[in-house]
Structure 1
Amino acid sequence: MTSSTYVLYQYTPSFVVAVIFAVLFFLTTVVHLWQRIRNHTQYFNPFIVGGIFQIIGYGARAVSHFHTTSTILYALQTLLILLAPTLYAASIYRVLGRVIKFLRGEHLSYVPVKYMTITFVMGDVLSFILQGAGGGVMSSGSASLLAVGQWIIVAGLGVQLVFFGAFVITSICFHCRITKSPTQEAKDSIDISGLFSRDWRGLLFALYTASVLILIRSIYRIIEFAQGNSGYVISHEVFLYVFDAAMMFLVMIVMNLYHPSVVLCSSETPISTEVKMTRTESDETIV
């Protein structure tokens, strides 16, 4: 196992806590995989891959407890834990576009829906590439390249922050406009049967919650890498688990509890039926 003479960690990574989060991410990812298979939600594939990244990442971090000088383990856990939220964001971007189309609210979105997903996902891809490149440079194990890699990661996180912030603003603006001028689809799909709305409003609030959690995590990561390898934040492992691991676990739980299929799959069926009935009536008229 390749090792480095440079100090990769300012502490000995906790084996117990890393294992706990690896198990937690495994459990929620399994549920997401089941929801994906059951509801055919292909747009949530990146989200599941993000969960797998977390499992492997924290698994590698647990092993790092016994091999603190291994550059391979260091690079593996750093990259996978760092990149997982980018994959979460990719799925969340796609969900908003689907919600807008389902509600027939394209005219209420400031960003054209046909450009929305590709715009935000491209920003996500750029962030992914920058963070991946920065992590790759950091894995060299030398002090000079470690600093360079950290600043490349900061740039990637900055891109993620800008695009995700724009996404949140776009979501809120659309939400406000469709609340003031609801489409017929928005009115028909409102659910008032329970304490928590299991309709498009609840789904949007779930997206807001996940977005805020990812934004908090991104801000923490920017501070961490901007301070450098000798900074206070990166020198205390507790920050990683409070502002990254816990936040991302909550993101996965929120989307478990309010999976997009709760709204989109169940609500798309009547529309499909209506289209089929219209086509049948047209055929009968022609005959």
Structure 2
Amino acid sequence: MATSSAASVTGLLDSCLSKLGFEVYPLKVGWYNALLPPCLHLPYGDDTLAEVVLSTPTMFEEAFLPFLEQKNYEKLSDPIDQCVRLHITSVTTQCFPEQKVDVRYDYELLPNRKPKFLAQTAAHVSGAAFYYQQSDVTNQPWADKKMFGVCVHPKFGGWFAIRALLVFVDIMVGSELVQPSPPNCVPSREGRIQLLEAFNFHWQDWSFRDVVPPLRTYSEKQKEYFSARPDQRFALLMSWGFLPSEDEPPELSSATHSQMNKLS
């Protein structure tokens, strides 16, 4: 097994990705697996190092628009997904050439149609963001209604997205990596009810993202892009001059996502 430290791996990833508008947070596979049933476990030992990658509000201008300007996109894929994949592949290849890294993206599904990883659970156990769920509300006002949970970032509220999980298959970390508690940004019952109702019933108006005062939000151009339906975004990029108008709109790789999940 490799003997690299979590701090060195995180530091190297951060030095490459932070300037592009990404954040990285380390976790142990065991922390993640402990919250999930066996059918959703990552198939690695408890002390295996993983890193969750988030995109912050600056990713759109610092990574995505330059990605389009450089014509790095290909057909048959969602441009945001391609941009994230390009940068993560570049970093893992250049910085960890001798490491086996299992990279799992937020939009990928296993053959059984289950996600390759549960992004919000990974963010929560890494301490990156607090995953507020229906079970976090006492005396729930929703009776038997199913309410989807949502992560809140301590600096950006809901103005961020969880993009990938990198599992460093041969790197084991011990007591050096202590599980942090995610920042509880919405401690009150009333605030959690407001958050979950805004996310589940009014997600189109973006209000759930402002549950805590954000340090930074998406730019107006970024809001316009993510407000558009996925099948309309190629036309929008054409109108901005990033895609040639004669190109046929590609088939979306993220077509399996709901509209709610792609508002990121």
TM-score (norm 2): 0.22
TM-score (norm 1): 0.21
Q: Greater CA radius of gyration, 1 or 2?
A: 1
- Greater strand content: 2
